[in-house]
């Protein structure tokens, strides 16, 4: 672990804590991976799964759970997306936005900097039908290994970007609170993106009278949304990495000095996430929760990615060396 950089926190009032239905547990099948912390999981046209491990390796997983290492970014792969041309798009906290040729394992860099500064925390990526790529950055100050510093600072340093087919990068939205997952709605009219610290889902409109604006979809979530995906029925599946940390949120409006002191504590004394399996599906038009799973499991939890594939709901985690799935 690299030495912690300093933080510059501000007083911040967290959003209210709403409620979600108490969804029942499900039968979970845990699928071991050849390494730790597969942060996201996506599926390609052949039904194969893709994930990225904490040591940089990109892994292809067959539907029966057989895993093969295809590439190594040398950084920390986070959100993934399978492009229409078959390439695997990779957000890497240290290298930016990458593209992987799934046949050869060759990696190419699509975006490493924006407006003259390096991408620090490229978080998640998606693509529309015309080949335009959209991606998020959680914070412009910290890399993945120091993500807690961004949360303690409570500064809106997250953004949403567009990568046009001609290679032009445009900043669409700034001032976001730890921007994370992003997906295209089934009808292509909007992007849905998540703010982990902001505890909300929002829509960035791609067509219609609201084109180019942001509107809320689901706010005041009682958990921290991470990666998201669009299901076969158009619902937006959201991985909720943890419930609200009441102690951390109580600190946010108080003197910034208190959070600087917390940041200086050894990692062993930092607040820990209680592992649980928590995913929720939201209606893409109303934002109403329409289904989900919430449970604990001895071998899996802290869900950071979710994707539907062939009647299964697959999940990834930053705390366990495994993927897991349940039947829909």
Token reading at 299: 């071998």
Q: Tokens for 94? A: 């240290």
Cβ proximity of 101 and 73 under 8 Å: no
Closest CA to 203 of 182, 187, 180: 182
Q: How confident is the model at residue 2 (pLDDT cuts 50, 70, 90)?
A: low
Question: Do the Cβ atoms of 17 and 244 come closer than 8 Å?
Answer: yes
Checking if the pLDDT of 65 tops 80, the result is: yes
Question: What are the pLDDT digits (tens) for 285-318?
Answer: 999 999 999 999 999 999 999 999 999 999 999 9
Which of 327, 328, 321 shows the shortest CA–CA distance to 31? Answer: 321
Yes or no: say if 39 and 79 are a contact pair by the CB < 8 Å rule: yes
Is the distance from CB of 60 to CB of 102 less than 8 angstroms?
A: yes
83-92: per-residue pLDDT in tens?
A: 999 999 999 9
CA dist 51 and 315 (Å) reads: 10
What is the token pair recorded at 71? 């590439």
Inter-residue contact 231 to 184 (CB < 8 Å): no
Question: Residue 265 pLDDT more than 90?
Answer: no
Contact yes or no for 176/196 (Cβ under 8 A): no
pLDDT digits (tens, 9 = 90+) for 158-171: 999 999 999 999 99
Percent with pLDDT over 90 in the chain? 94
* pLDDT band at residue 246 using 50, 70 and 90 as cut-offs: confident
The residues pairing with 98 across neighbouring beta strands, listed in sequence order, are: 90, 109
Per-residue model confidence (pLDDT) at position 298? 96
Q: Using CA of residue 234, residue 83, residue 41, residue 28, what is the dihedral sign?
A: positive
**Cβ(279)–Cβ(289) below 8 Å:** no
Q: Locate tokens 């976001």: which residue? A: 176
> Is residue 271 scored above 80 in pLDDT?
no
Tens digits of residue pLDDT in 106-120: 999 999 999 999 999
Is 122 in contact with 78 (CB distance < 8 Å)?
yes
């Amino acid at each position: 672990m690299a030495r912690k950089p300093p933080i510059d926190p501000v007083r911040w009032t967290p959003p209210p804590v709403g409620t979600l239905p108490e969804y029942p547990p499900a039968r979970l099948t845990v699928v071991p991976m050849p390494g730790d912390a597969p942060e996201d999981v996506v599926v390609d046209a052949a039904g194969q799964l893709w994930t990225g491990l904490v040591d940089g390796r990109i892994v292809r997983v067959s539907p029966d759970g057989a895993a093969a290492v295809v590439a190594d970014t040398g950084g920390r792969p986070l959100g993934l997306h399978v492009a229409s041309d078959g390439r695997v798009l990779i957000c890497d906290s240290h290298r930016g936005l990458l593209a992987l040729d799934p046949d050869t394992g060759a990696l190419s860099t699509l975006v490493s900097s924006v407006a003259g500064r390096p991408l620090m925390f490229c978080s998640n990526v998606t693509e529309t039908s015309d080949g335009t790529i959209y991606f998020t950055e959680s914070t412009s100050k910290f890399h993945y290994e120091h993500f807690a510093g961004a949360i303690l600072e409570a500064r809106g340093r997250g953004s949403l970007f567009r990568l046009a087919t001609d290679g032009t990068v445009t900043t669409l939205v700034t001032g976001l609170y730890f921007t994370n997952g992003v997906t295209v709605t089934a009808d292509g009219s909007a992007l849905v993106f998540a703010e982990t610290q902001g505890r909300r889902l929002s829509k960035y409109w791609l067509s219609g009278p609201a084109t180019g604006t942001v509107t809320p979809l689901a706010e005041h979530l009682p958990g921290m949304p991470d990666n998201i995906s669009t299901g076969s029925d158009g619902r937006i599946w959201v991985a909720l990495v943890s419930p609200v940390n009441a102690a951390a949120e109580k600190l946010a409006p108080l003197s910034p000095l208190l959070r600087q002191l917390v940041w200086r504590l050894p990692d062993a004394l930092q607040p820990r996430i209680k592992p649980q399996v928590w995913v929720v599906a939201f209606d893409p038009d109303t934002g109403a929760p329409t289904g989900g799973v919430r449970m604990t499991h001895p071998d899996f939890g802290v869900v950071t990615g979710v994707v539907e594939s062939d009647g299964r709901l697959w999940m990834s985690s930053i705390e366990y060396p495994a993927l897991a799935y349940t039947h829909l």
